Structure 1
Amino acid sequence: MNEYRIDDLARASGVSVRNVRVYQDRGLLPPPRKVGRTGWYNDDHLARLELIGRMLDRGYTFVTISELLTAARYGLEVKDVLENDDPGVLRNPDWPGARLSMDDLREKFGDEATEANIARGVELDVIAPLGEDFTVTNPKFLKTAEVLHGSGMSLADILEQNAAVRRDLADVAARFVSVVADRYLAKDGEELELDEETVTEVVNLVNRIKPLAHDTVSILFAEAMESEIAKALHKAAAQLGATPSEDSQAS
């Protein structure tokens, strides 16, 4: 993938440097990869600028472009944006930044939308207080919690499972980071010596590892899920085939 300084990106896209910065400030263009004081853009930024240009030519406003790009990112449809009666504010709970009232939470989780569970959700960064309402900071988990709660699982248990998974993932992240840290960082008690070239190499390596680590974990998790589902189905089949006395002994 090609990389560009902001001047190079502006020339390649036909957009002025000023407008590149404006689009970035408005949240339409993702920030560049930083190496020291230099920001590096890539072909994805170039494609995004071309898309923004086409949308502006068709008369879309910055607000509408932002909402449509957000909808596309989270797999939503254009109608989800057009049916929003409050332009500029994301109210679909599947979107980050959506605003939920206490009544909304009670509608989703019933009597389990207690102060204790809500406080735990805030602690786990699922929702965040906003005056008397809340904003959604983790829409995918909120949706998962709603589905699990609808199947009969308690909200408190769902939140605790979230906390446990976070702890497990922190260990996974530490393993990936240690691949870089063990190679470049000094051991305890030793003096750290890094020149500018090595620092740049470390930053580049970390930026390359992040998406690869994400994809690797996603693949391994999908494989693990299939394995665990198979085990659960096998256990259910065995229990269905067991006689009452065998079943009681197994339990």
Structure 2
Amino acid sequence: MTEETANGTAGNGGREHREYRMDELATAAGITVRTLRFYRERGLIPPPRREGRIAWYDDNHLARLRTIAALLERGHTLNGIADLTTAFESGRNVREVLALPAPSEEEPVRLTPGELADHFAGEVTAENLAAALDLGYLVTDGEEIVHVSRRLLDVSAALVREGVPLAEVLKAGARVREHAEALAGLFAELLGAYASEGDLERLRPLAKSVVEAELSLALDRRLRPGEPAS
């Protein structure tokens, strides 16, 4: 080889943090050095760490290159990937939301950008990604995306499979968020007035049950108008 061997340094928790010269990174990613240079010039990967005249790449660069390959396989263009990368990097990351109260009942889901594309085939655009990031449905963690709720992820994907455009799903999600915040405020005020602070979490299922029952009745009225109540 014409390049030096890869660096290996201990990272957080003693885990080895590997660094690569350009030809080593290209080999690990299964691409040519020329392609790697092209991706770097297009801004599809972050700049390398410079040590004098030597450029060092790391495992984050390798993960990004594998993500690019996965998105290309799924039909995304390089221009589209560049737009997605911009939206992805401008989104809030996990460290930014650690100060917020974590959902007590919703299970977060870790996804690569390629896996997210699989959930919403053809619908993961820079605009939709930015909207999901703005809503707080998605946050970033290094080269991974975290969806804050498996239930919301599954329902959104199901609606898209039924033919509802993802952009419209996200618009509806924003409107539902407004109503949900209002309902949460109503019940927090009600329970706060008549229950001790220690009872609020215990009484939370009652508030959810009222909302679910009222929503079910409202759907009956909307979807089955004129039918007599059973």
TM-score band by shorter chain is 0.3 to 0.5
- Name the one with the larger strand percent: 2
Calculate the TM-score normalised by the size of structure 2: 0.47
TM-score when normalising by structure 1: 0.43
Choose between structure 1 and 2 for higher RCO, CA contacts under 8 A separated by at least 6 residues: 2
